Chain A
Amino acid sequence: MEARESTLTAERDRDLVGPGADGMEPAEREVRWINVGDGERLASVLGGVALARYGLKLNSPGGALLALAGGMLVYRGLTGHCDIYRSLGLSTARRTVSPVASVLHEQGIKVEKTVTINKSPEELYRFWRNFENLPRFMKHLKSVRTLDDKRSHWVAKGPAGTTLEWDAEVYTERENEFIAWRSLENADVDSAGSVHFEKVPGDRGTRVKVLVKYNPPAGRLGALIAKLFGEAPEQQIEEDLLRFKQLMEAGEIPTTEGQPAGRRSMLGRILVGAR
């Protein structure tokens, strides 16, 4: 009971409050209380309401039991806590807590993309490690400024014409193999990423794998809306990687911006750009 109360009152400030009787950090405990996944919670509420209404309509002892079951489903959906799951040690929720991660495990948006590029790992590593090169193929970045051999300052285009800025540091790397970076405190967007370079057997060049995790501003809802307007992160990263490949293999990124055309329609002007 005592552990439960401190969960309800403690802030999610991992540095200030020590472990409780069960050895868990309060934030972790609160998070573990919720063991039903988001989609399932919604289904639980809707299903529970339907079941309860049906049970009440039956107007019988059996119906009353059904209505009770429906009510429990609703409670389960609203609180995100299922006693049955608890006793079975199950959880369909996706949250844990870490004191060292910039983006919490299973939180935020995670994207992983791979591309094969007809160049050596050394050439690709060298180009990527100079983060000031990144805006040349990452369209959402406005600029990256190197601050010292580990830290850099990033400026990106946010949704709806806003600008996002943050400092990042390379926290581990191995030359010609991988680089891992993460954003520092007070970032507009929490993010962490890594790029891996692996020589492909034979003459085929290098396999480049990028993992990026970030908490989008406006959370998941913002990310969903961005997706609807064609700025989904998976697609962005994939297109960025393709542009990296084109820049490295062909020396330039193919474009038709600025080419001639006849009179565009309104839709054409939006999709393709005015003449």
Chain B
Amino acid sequence: MNLSLIDKIGTIFKYIFSSFLSIEMFIMSLLLFVILIFNLKRKNTLVQMIAIGIYIGFIIGIFISYTTYVKTCIDSFFKGVMNYIYFPSTIVYFFIILFVTVMILITLFSKKLTIFKKVINYLFFSMLYFLFMSFIALGAQYGIDLVDTALLYESNTILSIVQVSNFLLLIWLVYTGFYHLFKYFKKKYD
């Protein structure tokens, strides 16, 4: 497990030459790289399209060859996301609040944001801060180890606080996403 960088690179090279499939994948990646490098000067659109096609082909190829595994990976990915939404670890929750703090500072000093957007931001951030403070206060009151997720979420109150908090953040993210998309469309098409 405790390998040096050279050992790790050596292990990867061993893997590359261990089977026909890995050699094929390596050669294809190399070819793609060479094509893209040569195309830097020529700037041929067709080559760019071919490169994109190869990338998509790679992805489709992997999906077809390892359908079950890919599905499992997608499931795991969404499970991970859901876990962050419904049962985030305290560290993730702290990072969320840190992110919110940064966004508050940006909102405070931004001259580009509209008044309405600022009001929306302040509303969401105030609610998130209130919920975060309640989370800490309840954790301290119950004497719960904030690192132990399973123990932490045995309390319905703490669970509700965290889930509502994440739901609010999600709504804010969706709203902000659409807000910036609208600004982009307005700038480009109006």
Q: Do A and B bind each other?
A: no
